[in-house]
A and B are shown apart, each in its own frame.
Chain A
Amino acid sequence: MKARVHVTLKNGVLDPQGEAVRHSLGTLGFDGVNGVRQGKVIELDLAETDADAAKTTVIQMCEKLLANTVIENYAVEIL
Chain B
Amino acid sequence: MRAAVIQFPGSNCDRDMAVALGRFSGNSKPAEMIWHKESSLPDGLDVIAIPGGFSFGDYLRCGAIAARSPIMQAVVKFASKGGYVLGVCNGFQVLTETGILPGVLMRNAGLKFVCREIGLEVTTKDSAFTAVYRKGEKISVPIAHHDGNYTADTDTLNRLHGDDRVAFTYTDNPNGSVDDIAGVLSANRRVLGMMPHPERINDPVLGGTDGARIFEGLAFGLVSA
Contact = CB atoms under 8 A, between A and B. Distances in A.
Contacts, number: 36
Interface residues of B, number: 20
A48 to B, nearest CB: 21
A17 interface: yes
B157 to A, nearest CB: 12
Interface string A4-22: 0000000001101100100
Given A64-B68, A71-B151, A16 B60 contact: no
B106 A71 contact: yes
B104 A68 contact: yes
Interface string B141-181: 00000000101110000000000000000000000100000
B217 interface: no
Given A68-B61, A70-B103, A71-B151, A16 B108 contact: yes
> Helix, strand, loop or mixed for chain A's interface?
helix
A79 interface: no
Contact of A13 (B60, B108, B151): B151
Given A68-B97, A71-B151, A16 B64 contact: no
Nearest to A71: B104
B104 A65 contact: no
B109 A14 contact: yes
Contacts of B152: 70
Given A65-B60, A65-B64, A16 B176 contact: yes
Interface in A27-79: 64-66, 68, 70-71
22 contacts: A13-B106, A14-B106, A16-B107, A16-B108, A16-B110, A16-B149, A16-B176, A17-B107, A17-B111, A20-B111, A65-B60, A65-B64, A65-B68, A66-B60, A68-B61, A68-B97, A68-B104, A70-B96, A70-B103, A70-B151, A70-B152, A70-B153
Q: 8 closest Cβ contacts across the A-B interface? A: A70-B104, A16-B109, A71-B104, A16-B107, A20-B111, A16-B111, A17-B107, A68-B61
Given A14-B106, A16-B111, A16-B149, 7 more contacts: A68-B64, A68-B97, A68-B104, A70-B103, A71-B104, A71-B106, A71-B151
